[in-house]
Amino acid sequence: MNKQMNLAGWNKSLFLSVLLLMGTVAEADPLKDFNGKPQAIKNFTGQGKWLVVMIWASDCHVCNVEAKHYIHFHDRYKNKNARILGISIDGQAKKAEAEKFIQRHHTTFPNLIGEPLEVAQWFVDLTGADWVGTPTFLIYNPKGELVVQQVGAVPVKLIEDFIQKESKSNPTPENHTDI
């Protein structure tokens, strides 16, 4: 009987350890900078600025066509109250293509990279929505709260209007309306 209790206790400990590990893995962002250093989205959010996250792929036609608009948005507002963060889903297998995308478009906003399936699962865990593809956008308010997720191209004017409207309806020092 003592062996059964010890075995049961061991199984319970193993089960709880696996659950804890699974929770830790699920909460971790699957993102790295292009030098291979692990990054977390929280390192970019909640710094008193709106953050627009553009999830892209180097072979995404819409991403390539629209990139210039988001670069212009970032350059226009980065010293005011909004900025862009790019997340490539090209993964290590297509990292060279992702780097070419960044060079080809003279991307001025920071970019991270992740494995396609891991980024898709991260998106599902974060938003509760199904992953559809690229481009996909996330918008975080100046407090670092995710307030919008949208699949497909989003006109910059729509983002500007949204930020301006939200900043006026929730005035705080972080929400000043420079847009």
Mind listing the pLDDT tens digit for each residue in 140-179?
999 999 999 999 999 999 999 999 999 988 765 554 444 4
- Assess if residue 51 is contained within a domain: yes
- Give the percent of the chain with pLDDT over 90: 77
pLDDT category, 21, cuts 50, 70, 90? very low
- Domain count within the chain: 1
Instruction: Kindly report the CATH number assigned to the domain that includes residue 88.
Output: 3.40.30.10
- Assess if residue 105 is contained within a domain: yes
The total of other beta-carbon atoms located within 10 Å of residue 78's CB is 14
| Listed residue (122, 45, 125) closest to 89, CA to CA | 122
User: Once rounded to an integer, what is the mean pLDDT over residues 129-147?
Assistant: 97
Choice between 106 and 27, residue whose per-residue pLDDT is larger: 106
Over the stretch 41-86, which tens digit does the pLDDT of each residue have? 999 999 999 999 999 999 999 999 999 999 999 999 999 999 999 9
**pLDDT, position 171:** 62
Residue 110 CB-density burial (10 A; 0-12 exposed, 13-18 middle, 19+ buried): middle
Kindly tell me if the per-residue pLDDT of 12 is higher than 80: no
Token pair 């962002």 in the structure block, residue:
29
- Assess if residue 7 is contained within a domain: no
Angle at 92 between CA 108 and CA 71, to 5 degrees: 15
| Listed residue (30, 53, 27, 32) closest to 126, CA to CA | 27
Which uninterrupted H or E stretch holds 116? helix 116-127
**pLDDT, position 134:** 98
- Assess if residue 87 is contained within a domain: yes
Domain of 103, in residue numbers? 31-175
SS3 67: helix
- Assess if residue 15 is contained within a domain: no
- Assess if residue 60 is contained within a domain: yes
- Assess if residue 11 is contained within a domain: no
- Assess if residue 3 is contained within a domain: no
Q: How many CA atoms lie within 13 A of 38 on its CB side?
A: 3
Cα torsion 21, 22, 23, 27 to 10°: value is 110
User: Once rounded to an integer, what is the mean pLDDT over residues 1-10?
Assistant: 46
Kindly tell me if the per-residue pLDDT of 14 is higher than 90: no
**pLDDT, position 170:** 72
